[in-house]
Amino acid sequence: MTSTHADAARPWPKLSPVQRFGPLLAVVALLVGAGVVATVKGGDTQTVSAGGGSGGPVGGGTGSDGGGDGEETDPWSSNPDLPITYAEAEADGTVGDHDWGDRCDETTGQIMIPSVYAPPCVPAWEEGADNGGATTKGVTAEEIVIAYYIPGAQDLLGLAEALGVFDNAAMRTALMDDLANLGNLTFETYGRKVVIKPFQGTGDGKNPAQARADARKVAEDLGAFASIGGPTQALAYQEELARRGVLCISCSPSAPDSIYQELAPYNWAVLASPDQILQGVLDFGVENLFGKPAIHAGDPSMHDKTRSIGVVHYEQDPPIYADLTERMRARYEAMGAEADLIVSYLLDQSTLSQQAQGIISRLKAEGITSVVFGGDPFMLIDLTTAATRQNYFPEWIITGTVFTDTTTVARLLDQQQWANAFGASASPARGTPQEAEAWRVYKWFQGTDPEAKKSLNITWPPVQLLFTGIHMAGPNLTPETFAGGMFRVPPAGGGPTTPQISYGNNGVTDGPDFVGVDDFTVVWWDPELEGPNEQEVVAPGMWRYPLGGQRFLMSEPQALDVELLFKDVPESPGILTEIPATDRTPDYDPPAGAPAAGG
């Protein structure tokens, strides 16, 4: 397997590797999702040293070396300060000893919110009881301060807003306030109220000095307990927050799993890490694609050739995925599924086109039939354009990073190339916007459709993560009890429109898991199928879902009949016309005080 890096000779300007890909490769999540060469849930994780930042509360990490079976203990979930759950009380025969309040569904043992991710019921907090007051930074007897990070105009997410992928900052901030109100009235917060404080980020999203300066302001000037969001390419932001004892939730899609382990228990995310995504996708590829002919290539001369795999992924400067790359290389060499070429690139807007031309020249010259991409939409646009100009038509295998699995992004790509695209997506299978769980939860509480339609589906999950952790932590809220509480929430989801989400020692990963999504679905691109994109623009070009969007655990790759790909059959819809039975939830009345209840 050949690997090219910034120091290797290549036909484009010498650049240091920049980021990584995966569902969230370089741009992180929807435009936000890029970061590849990593391992997936269930794979080996790198050994992390004890000792994080200098002088702060972080330093111990988890101590996991990735060699366990997913059942090792953690230092948080057995904390005696954590509240008992309804299921635990039922098992102990002590349900009657506790007041579960009026928002507990005693049939399911979960709180009354129309979400498959509803957390377990905990005893209702007695109004006026002593909750411990200022239990940690950003927490008082009355409030929990949360910073909402608004990226600068040159940050990837700022650029995504300019492209129309997201709503503007004012609309997103108003949405955050609505969601915080929902959480405060639905989850147990022990006499406290979550208060959202917007924070305008500085810089381009990748400058470490600016990121650290922003983190210091969030921790000290805003006095936050947690930050939701951060600069997309600067891990220094979450490192500095951890050093100062502040949680970082969905802060950077480019963070490898080793960062979550080293900064434990301060770093959290909903989407899988690049490591987890890449390993899951590649394991699936080994099961279904390696050693077989490249029948889906755009060039017919490749159809009888055994697949020659090239991996193109995002990196950062200095590199953060070198160790991951080597571990993945060793893993797949041992399985007899070595990639023929690995190329990293730097997310530098001024040189992306040049880099893309050189990468395509290299892939073509080395006879690569199948390109596995783990990066951002900007590079993918340039790569597909360069490929057509160079008359190179391989298979394109996506990993779902940074919105590369969205219809909005796919329509921006060269369609001669993308007609040969398929792969994995950790995102939910799409139905109508109104059927998405986030939309249904919002309307259940507000009584109206959301104004920030473009942002709701990626804004609600980290907010739900935050409130779940607070709910499960008990009154003595600290980063440690937050972690202990999250680790005690059972896995949930797994249907076509609701990815499985779990945290902790869940048996899905080796060691404690601080990111949520455990599974993915298979997709292929149909440039002729007409339908709506994520912004409800109807036009040709849609991702299709073989087997109706069935999902596969990243840790348990399954054999798939690849003949199902690129077939216009009812079993491969572009839009699910109804919510699958597995993803439906009970109907509940909204809580008192909700706008939908007249509050």
- The superfamily (CATH) of domain 2-41+275-425 is PrpR receptor domain-like (3.40.50.10660)
8 Å CB contact between 303 and 297: yes
8 Å CB contact between 463 and 452: no
How many helices and strands in the chain, by DSSP H and E?
15, 16
| Strand ranges in 325-467 using DSSP code E only, listed in sequence order | 341-346, 370-374, 395-398, 421-425
Which contacts of 362-368 are long-range, i.e. CB under 8 A and separated by 24 or more positions?
A: 362/4, 362/10, 362/11, 363/310, 363/312, 363/392, 363/394, 364/390, 364/392, 366/2, 366/308, 366/310, 366/340, 366/341, 367/305, 367/308, 367/340, 368/308, 368/309, 368/310, 368/340, 368/341, 368/394
**What is the rounded distance in angstroms from the CA atom of residue 323 to the CA atom of residue 505?**
24
**3-state secondary structure (DSSP) of residue 12:** coil
CATH 3.40.50.10660 location in the chain: 2-41+275-425
- Per residue in 278-320, pLDDT (tens digit) is 788 888 888 889 999 999 999 999 999 999 999 999 887 777 7
**What is the rounded distance in angstroms from the CA atom of residue 268 to the CA atom of residue 402?**
17
pLDDT at 525 over 90: yes
Q: Which of 434, 435, 408 is nearest to 542 (CA)?
A: 408
Secondary structure (H, E, C), 25-81: CCCCCCCCCCCCCCCCCCCCCCCCCCCCCCCCCCCCCCCCCCCCCCCCCCCCCCCCC
Exposure of 592 by Cβ count < 10 A (0-12 exposed, 13-18 middle, 19+ buried)?
A: exposed
The first and second tokens of residue 117, run together, are 């991710």
Return the ∠ at Cα 553 (arms to 548 and 559), rounded to 5°.
70
Which contacts of 455-460 are long-range, i.e. CB under 8 A and separated by 24 or more positions?
A: 455/166, 455/167, 455/171, 455/172, 455/175, 456/175, 457/534, 458/29, 458/30, 458/32, 459/172, 459/175, 459/176, 459/179, 460/179
- Per residue in 139-195, pLDDT (tens digit) is 999 999 999 999 988 887 777 777 666 789 999 999 999 999 999 999 999 999 999
At 334, is the pLDDT very low, low, confident or very high (cuts 50, 70, 90)?
A: confident
pLDDT of residue 106: 96
**Residue-wise DSSP of 369-385:** -EEEEES-HHHHHHHHH
Q: For 369, phi and psi rounded to 5 degrees?
A: -95, -20
Q: Which of 425, 421, 456 is nearest to 441 (CA)?
A: 456
pLDDT of residue 269: 96
pLDDT of residue 347: 85
Exposure of 8 by Cβ count < 10 A (0-12 exposed, 13-18 middle, 19+ buried)?
A: exposed
**What is the rounded distance in angstroms from the CA atom of residue 492 to the CA atom of residue 514?**
15
| Residue showing tokens 């049939």 | 107
Please tell me what DSSP assigns to residue 120: B
CATH 3.40.50.2300 location in the chain: 86-270+436-487
3-state helix, strand, coil in the chain (%, to 5): 30, 15, 55
pLDDT of residue 329: 80
pLDDT at 351 over 90: yes
Average pLDDT in the 356-365 region? 98
Amino acid at 488: R
pLDDT at 55 over 60: no
At 564, is the pLDDT very low, low, confident or very high (cuts 50, 70, 90)?
A: confident
Fold of the CATH domain 86-270+436-487: Rossmann fold (3.40.50)
- Per residue in 92-127, pLDDT (tens digit) is 999 999 999 999 999 999 999 999 999 999 999 999
CA dihedral 379, 518, 337, 566 (to 10 degrees): -70
Q: For 249, phi and psi rounded to 5 degrees?
A: -115, 120
pLDDT at 19 over 70: no
Q: Which of 268, 179, 180 is nearest to 457 (CA)?
A: 179
Contacts with 244 (C-beta within 8 Å, 6 or more apart), sequence order = 56, 57, 137, 215, 216, 219, 220
pLDDT of residue 26: 29
Which helix (H) or strand (E) covers residue 258, if one does?
helix 257-262
What is the overall mean pLDDT for the chain? 85
The first and second tokens of residue 595, run together, are 């706008």
**What is the rounded distance in angstroms from the CA atom of residue 359 to the CA atom of residue 308?**
15
pLDDT at 20 over 60: no
The better pLDDT of the pair 57, 583 is held by 583
pLDDT at 35 over 70: no
pTM of the prediction? 0.85
Q: Which of 80, 27, 84 is nearest to 472 (CA)?
A: 84
527: cis peptide before it, omega within 30°?
Answer: no
8 Å CB contact between 380 and 347: no
160 DSSP β-pair partners: none
CA atoms within 13 A on the CB side of 133: 1
| Residue showing tokens 């902790």 | 504
pLDDT of residue 463: 98
pLDDT of residue 88: 97
CA atoms within 13 A on the CB side of 384: 26
